[in-house]
Chains A and B, each alone.
Chain A
Amino acid sequence: EVQLVESGGGLVQPGASLKLSCVASGFTFSDYWMSWVRQTPGKTMEWIGDIKYDGSYTNYAPSLKNRFTISRDNAKSTLYLQMSNVRSEDTATYYCTREYYGPHYWGQGVMVTVSS
């Protein structure tokens, strides 16, 4: 069974950095592109970006490219999202997904709240 478990969320102050993790199990992690998607409190969904199965290539939403970095450690079956200089509009639930013609399997999500 495919499982994706996110962690690392919480309350963070504006301007701070935060790193989310997603541990995968139930499949060969190194065979799949992976991505991050977020959903705002108003339920708007936004695709953040993805990373190639070997970590050699990444894509980002243009509006987030300069502040967010996606990486992976295939030996640990773990996907990461490094967020820097966070803003109130980054408040959302962040989902890790395994891709196959778009997000296919989703984790349960982790909440990030940006507030002073």
Chain B
Amino acid sequence: DIQMTQSPSVLSASVGDRVTLNCKASQNINKYLNWYQQKLGEAPKLLIYNTNNLQTGIPSRFSGSGSGTDYTLTISSLQPEDVATYFCFQHNSWPAFGSGTKLEIK
């Protein structure tokens, strides 16, 4: 099974900061990597699929990159409404989620 490791587990940043969240797979996942945002009390929402494809309706401040085993979600300018937990998910082989990064505002 492929293991997905997200870092950091908690990230505190200021409004307007550029924020980077990381996701590392235990083996090559060929860019089959999605990012989800889950706000408190809500269902997860797809932000990015297949590494760098922005889901319709998602603000352009969100972007994704990576290849092989290492992937990144970047928020170019953090907004208060971005407070949430972010999960990565690989669907290259047996699907698996990361453990999440909780993003807070300083």
Contact = CB atoms under 8 A, between A and B. Distances in A.
Interface of A: 43-47, 61-62, 95, 100-109
Interface residues of B, number: 21
Given A43-B100, A47-B96, A102-B95, A107 B34 contact: no
A44 B40 CA distance: 14
A33 B55 CA distance: 18
A43 B101 CA distance: 11
B43 A108 contact: yes
Nearest to B46: A104
Given A46-B97, A47-B95, A103 B46 contact: yes
A89 B33 CA distance: 27
Contacts, number: 48
Contacts of A107: 43
B29 to A, nearest CB: 11
Interface of B: 32, 34, 36, 42-46, 49-50, 55, 85, 87, 89, 91, 94-97, 99-100
Given A45-B87, A101-B32, A102-B34, A109 B49 contact: no
Contacts of A105: 46
A62 B89 CA distance: 17
B44 A106 contact: yes
B21 to A, nearest CB: 15
A103 B100 contact: no
Nearest to B100: A43
Contacts of A103: 34, 36, 44, 46, 89
A61 B1 CA distance: 11
